[in-house]
Amino acid sequence: MSAKKHLLRWVAGLGLCALALPALAQETRIKFQLDWRFEGPSALFLMAKSKGYFAQEKLDVSIDSGSGSGNAVNRVASGAYDMGFADMAALMEFTANNPTAPSRPQAVMMVYNDTPAAILALKKSGIAKPADLVGKKLGAPVFDAGRRAYPIFAKANGIDASKSTWVSMDPPLRETMLVKGDVDAIAGFYFTSLLNLNARGVKDEDVVVMPYPDYGVKLYGNAIIASDAMIKQHPDAVKGFLRAFTRAAKDVMADPDAAVKVIKERDSLIDEKLEARRLKLVIKSTINTPNARAEGFGQVSPSRLALMASQVSDAYGTKNRVDPNAVWNGSFLPTRAELNVFPK
């Protein structure tokens, strides 16, 4: 009898394990590609992982550093990554230039409601306004978002973009060349180039910053993108990812200094003070902005998106006109109540 009971218990145990397997199988793995290194802004994603928000949505999310928005779009399009973080203009360019691509990612949540692109110059150069850029040497990597969108900036400010000369360089040399006087001004993300100039001994008060949004440019910045396969095969996982991210964004905006600690968990070499300042600049200039508050966190204005699509088509010289409906899919966004994340 005792052997029979033991056998029955063993069989029952196997049955319980079998019942548990479907629950375990429900967890969805997501490979996520950032646009850049583990710096201040990456706290928005690392916080969701560190606090277990992704896990609570039954998601197993791995987050990798990136090397630019263009690469992030390409990697998600190729299927190497399921989701990513990339500049909306880069996504528009890819979609318009690859109309027959088997997989074309879509933006599912806007994060940088205003582009962080800016023109920066040293005050001693005498450059104080857009008109002063005419006839000057501007510097930026060839793929820089601000450089690519410079014709839009120029048109918005009544200057001829062709009257300025561009000098190309690798990203680490951009601010160094400005300080040395090799170029008169640079294009770059405001929160990156300003801090890089600080690191080279230049004080804030000695820098002229012309953020694109303050000079008539209505472009969106970075958005969360998802692959075609992710959208079609795992729609609930996309929704869960955005819910978890939204909770993390609320935490990060409420306490940026504490949020930086989750980046330290990933990269022990970061300068917490520096990245806290970077994160605060990101929040103030691109995330918690008047435009974002008017449109709602994570959302876009159809008319503004259509205008950006037209501007990118012209400035980037895409093979086909950008179709705003092909790059944006807001159907996975959390509820309006959940998206109420801005600090009062």
With helix as H, strand as E and coil as C, how does 264-315 read? HHHCCCCCHHHHHHHHHHHHHHHHCCHHHHHHCCECCCHHHHHHHHHHHHHH
CA pair distance 219, 59, nearest whole angstrom: 32
Answer yes or no: are the C-beta atoms of 88 and 204 closer than 8 Å: no
Domains 29-113+221-332 and 117-215 share a fold: yes
What 3-state DSSP class applies to 65?
coil
Dihedral pair phi/psi, residue 110, rounded to 5° = -85, 135
Residue written as token pair 């600080």: 198
CA angle 228, 231, 236 (to 5 degrees): 165
pLDDT per position as a tens digit, 89-124: 999 999 999 998 889 999 999 999 999 999 999 999
Q: 29-113+221-332 in CATH: which number?
A: 3.40.190.10
Contact 155, 215 (CB under 8 A): no
Return the pLDDT at 4. Answer: 53
- Compute the residue count for the chain: 344
Domain ranges within the chain, ordered by starting residue: 29-113+221-332, 117-215
Low-confidence ranges of the chain (pLDDT < 70): 1-25
Distance CA 82, CA 233 (A): 11
What SS3 string covers 168-200? Answer: CCCHHHHHHHHHHCCCCEEEEEHHHHHHHHHHC
**Phi and psi, residue 88, nearest 5°:** -60, -35
For 255, list phi and psi in degrees, rounded to 5: -150, 80
**Contact 76/300 with Cβ under 8 angstroms?**
no
d(CA 95, CA 73): 10
Class of domain 117-215: alpha beta
Instruction: Tokens for 59, please give them.
Output: 């998601």
Determine the angle formed by the axes of helices 88-97 and 302-316, rounding to 10 degrees: 60
- The pLDDT tens digits for 60-92 are 999 999 999 999 999 999 999 999 999 999 999
pLDDT at position 310 is 97
